[in-house]
Structure 1
Amino acid sequence: MVAFYSSALDGVAANPALPTPLLLRLIAFDGGGHGPPFQALHRTGLPEPAVAAVLAHPALDARVEFAKSGQAEPEQRARLAGDPSPRVRAAVAHGPEWSHDHRKKVRPLPDAVCARLLEDPEASVRSALVNSRHVAPSFLASLARHPDPAARHAALRVWDELAPDEHAALLDDPDPEVRRSAALCACPDDAGLTAALLRDPAALPEALRRGLLDRADAERFLTEGIHLAELAANPSLPADLVDRLAVDPDDGVRLAVSLRPELSEARRAAIDFTVTPYTTGDVDWVAAGIADQDVLHRAATSTHPLLRRAAARSPHLPPDLLRHLAEDTDDLVRTHLAIYHPDTPEEVLMSVYARLGGTFSAWMATGHPRFPRDGLAARYANHPNGIYRQLAVRDPAASPELIERLSHDPDVWTRQAAAGDPRLPLPRLLEALALPELACSAGTNPALPPDEMAAVMDKAGVPA
């Protein structure tokens, strides 16, 4: 496994103990026209002088990077909504592409700022906003009668929150793509709309999967053998046609049948289907009921691995179902628990950590609220596998001598973990700062003296 190397300056830019004067010095850095390291712009809780410096930064990339920061408050990013560069405004409109903790939702921009961005003269800015994952549902709903068809199309994402007259207007929209998408939203309850969509090649697969089918259309598509996996998932498919598709020669069709919500466990188990170890478990009816205790119970206690994988993605599992899935032998069930549930048992976290390794496990070890800390040094400091020796650094009782020893470990990930630990003795920390594979980790170390942080900046050409 290859470790990620970066510079000492990148590490210092992320150092939580970086003094404000040095942070301001770093943020003012031109970086050859690209601005300071992105770590400086993605810090949590940037002080106001630093935010003001970013907003006025001459390097376009610096303003773009801050506009995309998942650590910045939306009110801070919103201050770039009037930036002279369309790239910056589009980055504000689109919002963060990632967050350090996927369990934490990004707060949306204020509705008034979204309205301003939606009227931006640049199409790229307007497009970024209507395609953003971080727009408040209330703002999306307000777009149902907007003059821009792209905005009206975005309103369809909150179809169930729109009024009946807004439904009717969107179903009769002058824009064909808006009409088609609105019809796809309404077709689960409307056989006439479904029949019309089935004549539209662009809408056919989705209409077959979701629409209210009459028997004649269902039989016709089954006979023609067109989009049978979508047909097999349709909630309105008559039971006898479900039975016919349950023995279809195509394994994908049989798998789609096996996931139907109305099937008993005995009926589900009687279907011959194959599930790979890597199929994630996207099941519409479970995702729609991600907080519904009855849905979660049915999925979590099923013999079908995809249903259990889907249930394991819910952060709303009650304690009994969490314990049940924690004992599952399916690797992806346990992985999903580790990613999505804040109360996943320690033994599951540890098994997933050991199996996956690399950056994912490093994220889980530092970011999961239940990941263990106490006693790790005694258990793992001498473990033959480096993925475990890294964990010894997390133990609050680990001694400076042990941290120094681990900073020389044969495993580079373990060395990097030790180099970032404030218990590392200063002489070794300064040595690590000069080693390419440890420089970034040493730069993040909160025990690094401010004069050494300044020296890193000097060496990197950051003006005083």
Structure 2
Amino acid sequence: MRHDLHGLAANPALPADLLDRLIATADSDLAEVLARRSDLTGTQVAALARFERAAARLGREGRLTEFDQPPRPRVALALLEAGFGRPEWARVLAADPSARTREQLAACPALPPDVTHTLASDPDVTVVAELAQWATSDVAAQLATHPHAEVRRAVATNEATPGPVLAALLTGDRLPPARSCVVCDQEAIPFVHDPNCQRPDCALMPGAACDGSHESTVYTIQQMALRNPATPADAVVAFADRCPGLHNGELAARTDLPRRLYAELAGDPVPLVRAQLADSPAIDENLIRALAFDRGHDVQRRLAHHPHLPLDILADLAAGTRIGPTLLPRIASATTAEAEELAASANPNLRMLVAQRRDLPAGLRDALARDADAKVLASIAPHPGLSETRLRELVAAHGARVSAAVAANPDATASLLEELARQRPPVLKALREIARHPHATAAALHTCLTDSRARRSAAGHPALPPATIVELLDDQDWQVVQAAAANPALPHAAMYGLVP
């Protein structure tokens, strides 16, 4: 692969005649990169359409719609998927000898009714299952009675499936028994798949089993139906009461259950279930407060991300839970008064969390920028609006602990970035921020080239001197070469020198 040509193909400053030359000499891989350009003419689009993958991309984007003859299957599929295809193409593809092609067709929207009927009767169950996953409600309802359990599993995932049908799939009631599944299709029953199976051609999931009742697929059908928001809540509750303890993880993720069921799930012995419950926006404040004392794995960390978390609970979690510098939903929705209260907390972790907001009032932002704790300062340093003087003071007081955060500030000046690049010993995270900063100068970028990761970003920065960009075309790192070739500051002479 010519990484320089791939970079050049993405270069926004590429001359039009050179783009034509690249298209004329492209291979399939390069054509796909060229197809991503937004400045292609109709003639150039038509020329790239000789490559299947490029044509498929252009078709999905609606830039390739006119054909003198039916397109190749992959291209026709891309057009049908994007809604630009013709019904006659779908009819041809429905009879394609490749099951993979028919399976891809089954996932396309708005297929003609006769094509849908053909696919629903396909002899390959993977094709029918794919159709079932995306079908309209009436087709999904019909396929719920399909004799193969795998098709029913796909119907259970489809949010267009009618509620009563999903309820029936959940319990198996009012449906004829399935006659086969992926296990008994290929193994003599009873059979339980060895989790440590060494057969290279085996596609069965670990633990897949069938004794004639298709139990592992039935189990998965129940999971899919419980995860499906279209499954009626009363059917879910009835299932939970009928089969207590089964699929509690799926139940905990639902948002339409009665409070008493959430309370029961909060006592599940499996921490993962309780952690799943801690994520749910449907749990009330009483349950949130109860889960705040749950020391099970990941429960408190996930609870910290709850959008309706009481602030006093957040304060407790911030004191004893590793949340990290991230913008929590409850922090993002806090009022100005609440944000000020959080910023005045004696707990630096809580101040760090509120400092993640990027829309703080200027007074509150500046107050946090005077905090004594380095992690609070690192959190607030990228906030827009901080003065250059204050950013310099942060670096002077805390050095490497805040340098990368200061370098990420969109208002960091060119001179400040140069000073950060000159720090000794170098702060590699800061160099990586500088390398992609729009205010970075040639001097700062030269220093960034000394770090292997920052070098990849710096090679594509338009402030890098043209001569340096040309030198980087011979770099040992292909990502550097590709970035340099894509750099709009690359001299035209160098561009022409790359193209055969």
Q: TM-score, normalised by structure 1?
A: 0.60
Matches within 5 A, 1:452-463: 452-457=494-499, 462=500
Structure 2 residue identity aligned to 1:131? A
> Residues of 2 paired with 1:416 and 1:51: CA distance?
30
Residue 350 to residue 15, structure 1, CA distance change in 2 (3 Å): same
Quickly say closer, same or farther: Cα 1:277–1:192, change in 2 above 3 A.
closer
Residue of structure 2 aligned with 1:228, choices 248, 254, 269: 248
Q: Distance in 2 between matches of 1:385 and 1:376?
A: 17
Q: Which residue of 1 aligns with 2:62?
A: 75
After superposition, the C-alpha distances for 1:249-308 in whole angstroms (9 at most, x for unaligned) are 221233344445443223223132645499999x9xxxxxxxxxxxx9537978599xx9
SS state at 1:75 partner? coil
Q: Which amino acid aligns with 1:213?
A: A
Match of 1:46 among 40, 48, 53: 40
For the residues of structure 2 that align with 1:73 and 1:420, how far apart are their CA atoms?
29
**What CA deviation, in whole Å up to 9, does each residue of 1:63-120 have, x standing for no partner?**
3134236xx77222445796654344445556xxxxxxxxxxxxx433x447744652
Counterparts in 2 of 1:313 and 1:45: CA distance versus 1, 3 Å: farther
Letter in 1 for 2:456: Q
Relative distance call for 1:74 and 1:280 in structure 2 (3 A) is farther
The residue that corresponds to 1:25 in the other structure is 21
Of 9, 34, 41, the residue aligned with 2:5 is: 9
Larger of the two Rg values belongs to structure: 2
Say if 1:27 and 1:54, in contact at 8 Å, map to a contact too.
yes
Call closer, same or farther: CA 1:349–1:125 in 2, change over 3 Å.
farther
Does the 8 A contact of 1:12 with 1:18 survive in 2? yes
Among candidates 440, 448, 451, match of residue 482 of structure 2? 440
Given that 1:197 and 1:203 are in contact with CA atoms closer than 8 Å, whether structure 2 keeps it comes out as no
Deviation at 1:411, TM superposition (A): 0.5
Q: After TM superposition, give the deviation of residue 201 of structure 1 in Å.
A: 4.0
Q: Which residue of 1 aligns with 2:197?
A: none
For 1:454, give the aligned amino acid. Y
CA RMSD of aligned residues (A): 5.2
SS in 1 for 2:172: helix
Give the letter for the 2:56 counterpart: A
Aligned pairs for 1:147-166 within 5 A: 147=117, 148-149=119-120, 154=131, 157=134
Match of 2:116 among 126, 146, 170: 146
Q: Counterpart of 1:248?
A: 268
Q: Is the 8 A contact 1:382 1:389 kept in 2?
A: no
Tell me the distance in 1 between the aligned counterparts of 2:6 and 2:254: 51
Instruction: Give the distance between the partners of 2:429 and 2:40, measured in 1 at CA.
Output: 33
**2:221 partner amino acid:** A
1:279 and 1:67 mapped to 2: Cα distance?
Answer: 43
Offset from partner CA, 1:10-52 (integer Å, 9 cap, x none): 2222211111111111112254xx4536432322222223212
2:103 alignment partner in structure 1: 127
Identity of aligned residues (%): 24
2:18 corresponds to which letter in structure 1?
A: L
Corresponding pairs, count? 368
- Report the alpha carbon displacement of residue 418 of structure 1 after superposing the two structures with TM: 3.1
**CA offsets 1:219-255 (integer angstroms, 9 cap, x no match):** 3421xx4333334455676654543432222212333
Task: For residue 441 of structure 1, report the CA deviation from its aligned partner.
Answer: 2.3
User: How far does residue 54 in structure 1 lie from its aligned partner after superposition?
Assistant: 0.7
Q: 1:375 aligns with which of 405, 413, 423?
A: 413
Letter in 2 for 1:86: P
Distance 1:277 1:80 in 2: 56
Inter-partner Cα distance in structure 1 for 2:36 and 2:442? 30
Task: Identify if the C-alpha distance between structure 1 residues 68 and 257 changes in structure 2 by more than 3 Å, giving closer, same or farther.
Answer: same
Measured in 2, the distance between the counterparts of 1:52 and 1:208 equals 47
Distance 2:380 2:78 in 1: 38
Q: Which amino acid aligns with 1:221?
A: C
Q: How big is the shift at 1:337?
A: 9.5
Distance change in 2, residues 1:349/1:155 (3 Å)? farther
State the alpha-carbon separation in 1 of the partners of residues 9 and 166 from structure 2: 56
Using CA pairs under 8 Å that are at least 6 residues apart, name the structure with larger relative contact order, 1 or 2.
1
Native 8 Å contact 2:240 2:246 kept in 1: no
Per-residue CA deviations over 1:282-335 (Å, capped at 9, x if unaligned) read x9xxxxxxxxxxxx9537978599xx99x9799xx87959x97x99969xx99x
From 237, 240, 254, the counterpart of 1:218: 240
Distance 1:144 1:175, change over 3 A: farther
One-letter amino acid matched to 2:172? A
Alpha-carbon distance in 1 for matches of 2:252, 2:87: 40
Contact conserved, 2:278 with 2:288, CA < 8 A, in 1?
A: yes
Cα distance in structure 2, aligned partners of 1:227 and 1:92? 39
Q: What is the CA-CA distance between 1:203 and the residue it aligns to? A: 1.9
Aligned residue for 1:203, secondary structure, equals helix
Alignment correspondent of 1:205: 223
Q: Return the alpha-carbon distance in structure 2 between the equivalents of residues 262 and 144 of structure 1.
A: 43
Secondary structure in 1 aligned to 2:422? Answer: coil
Q: Is the 8 A contact 1:14 1:40 kept in 2?
A: yes
- Aligned with residue 264 of structure 1, among 259, 284, 288: 284
Given residue 68 of structure 1, which amino acid in structure 2 is its aligned partner? Answer: R
- Match runs of 1:59-458 below 5 Å: 62-68=51-57, 74-79=61-66, 85-92=72-79, 108-110=82-84, 112-113=85-86, 116-117=89-90, 119-120=92-93, 121-122=95-96, 123-131=99-107, 139=110, 146-147=116-117, 148-149=119-120, 154=131, 157=134, 167=138, 170-173=140-143, 175-176=146-147, 185-187=161-163, 194-196=170-172, 200-208=218-226, 210-211=231-232, 212-213=234-235, 217-222=239-244, 225-233=245-253, 239-271=259-291, 272=294, 274=296, 276=298, 298=308, 303=314, 350=382, 372=410, 374-375=412-413, 378-379=416-417, 380-383=420-423, 384-395=426-437, 397-403=439-445, 405-406=446-447, 409-437=449-477, 438-457=480-499
